Amino acid sequence: MLKIYNDGKRITAALSGDLDHHAAREIRLELDDVIARSRPELLILDFEKVGFMDSSGIGLILGRSRAVRAVGGELLVKNARREIAEIIKISGLGQLIAAQCDVG
């Protein structure tokens, strides 16, 4: 589900599986805790191993973007598959966050 790599200034959260309502809730709680404790300059959400994302994923990304900005950091989404990259684009999230997505 979630592996977190924290070097103090940058946190990478490697997500895996399906990002639905239940998974998003657990991930949100864990990420909010680590953001509050570490106050990262950059939070990277790595979607390489995420196969599915519904609207709960949009909320997860948007909420973590707000949380990390509140402590002076930025959020980057990377390695999103085509379907997830399209959801990010269509939802308007792409204009709010940095994203490196597999849309090719």
What H or E segment, with its residue span, contains residue 10? strand 10-19
Domain ranges of the chain: 2-101
What H or E segment, with its residue span, contains residue 19? strand 10-19
Strands of 2-6's sheet in order across:
2-6, 10-19, 42-53, 74-80, 98-101
- Residue identified by tokens 């909420």 is 63
CA 63 to chain centre: 9
For residues 75-104, average pLDDT: 77
Condensed to tens digits (0 to 9), the pLDDT of residues 16-69 reads: 999 999 999 999 999 999 999 999 999 999 999 999 999 999 999 999 999 999
Question: How far, CA to CA in Å, does 55 sit from each of 31, 34, 52, 91?
Answer: 18, 23, 10, 9
Residue type, 37: R
CATH 3.30.750.24 assigned to 2-101: yes
Rounded CA separation 11/4 (Å) = 7
The model's pTM is 0.89
